[in-house]
Amino acid sequence: MSSQYLNPSEAARRLGVSAKALRLYEQRGLVAPVRTAAGWRAYGPDEMARAGEIAALRALGLSLAQTARVLGGDPQGLAPALAAHQASLEGRVRQLADTVQRVAGLRADLARGKAPAEGELARLLEPELSVAFDLPWPWGGERFELRDIGPITYIIGSLGSGKTRLAMRLAETLPDAGFLPLDRAADGGVAARARLEADPALRGRVDQALAWLAEDGAVESDALLVLLAALEAEAPAVLVVDMVEQGLDEPTQEALVAHLRRRGAGARPLFLMTRSCAVLDLAAVGPDEAILLCPANHAPPTRVAPYPGAPGYEAVATCLASPEVRARTEGLIAVRYPAA
């Protein structure tokens, strides 16, 4: 077959999506790769062009069902997606314009012989959101700093690694942050439904998210409703979620993460504790996402780059498992016994 044809891994890399995403496009009938004489999938120029359109529509926030309708000649779903994308771009422009204005002000002061005030340059150059604190037990009080906090930060670690304590300390230390615990759906979603009844705007956002997720294969449940009620709320400013996959099946986990990724670079920061490879697909981690690993030996948490060979990558991969495997260890608690 011609060199113009790419195997799925090469095609996914060229498109900037995961191989899993390509398989999903094929399963939904959105793209049909050709087959080699040996029966292997291959993507030629036409298939790559089609897959590129799908990836672009997905990046704009369209569900798979909406993407199929647009590709079938119905462009109505594009209007709200383009409006949201425009709003995100305008938000970035405003942030950049504010920074430019601050730099111009500093230059004007310098021209008049006025030096920047103490800390002014640091505030200009530092990321918008950062955090620093002394690590809790099971660490030894080492200083921990996290800068450049983006829309999604995954917290990974084996049982007993301290990831829950780290997550709770993040929620305590970050300004206007909240913690969503593991028993969030213990009341069967009663509190979440009451909250939605009292807040029609939130109810509308949750209903819209549920419709989007259902089109991508998610199954509605109390666990999903409670989670969305927190994720779609306007406050707190930062949300830390304990085991985001709790109570969700694999298609729902995948649809949820795809939905969260499409919020844009300026979205509210989320810290998602997880040990599910359906939530954290290492091949699909984007530029606005970060991975925090809590090592099993209780070394300080570290930020891990999402590519093979990076320090800590194998440890992260070892902590992750499919939802089926994760279900076997649900409820297990690691116990540290005192030395004899």
Residue 72 token pair: 């079938």
Residue 230: pLDDT over 80: yes
pTM of the model: 0.74
Summarised one tens digit per residue, pLDDT across range 141-191 is 999 999 889 899 999 999 899 999 999 999 999 999 999 999 999 999 999
Q: Which CATH architecture has domain 131-328?
A: 3-Layer(aba) Sandwich (3.40)
Q: Please report, rounded to a whole number, the percentage of residues in the chain having pLDDT higher than 70.
A: 92
CA distance 212 to 206: 10
- Exposure string of 51-76, with b = 16+ CB inside 10 Å and e = fewer, is bbebbebbebbbbbebbbbbbeeeee
CA distance 81 to 57: 9
Q: What is the pLDDT of residue 19?
A: 77
Contact 259, 224 (CB under 8 A): no
CA distance 203 to 206: 5
The phi, psi pair for 200, rounded to 5°, reads -60, -35
Contact 332, 243 (CB under 8 A): no
- Hey, is 212 helix, strand or coil? helix
- Hey, is 7 helix, strand or coil? coil
Q: What is the pLDDT of residue 337?
A: 45
**What CATH number labels 8-71?**
1.10.1660.10
CA distance 195 to 231: 13
Summarised one tens digit per residue, pLDDT across range 188-215 is 999 999 999 999 999 999 998 998 888 7
Q: Where are the domains of the chain?
A: 8-71, 78-125, 131-328
Contact 167, 274 (CB under 8 A): no
Instruction: Say which residue the tokens 């113009």 belong to.
Output: 4
- Polymer length of the chain: 340
Residues whose CB falls within 8 Å of the CB of residue 163, separated by 6 or more in sequence, listed in order:
155, 156, 157, 273, 294
CA distance 294 to 78: 41
* C-alpha distances out from residue 220 to 202, 209, 216, Å: 17, 11, 12
Other residues' Cβ atoms within 10 Å of the Cβ of residue 326? 21
Element (H, E) at 144: strand 143-146
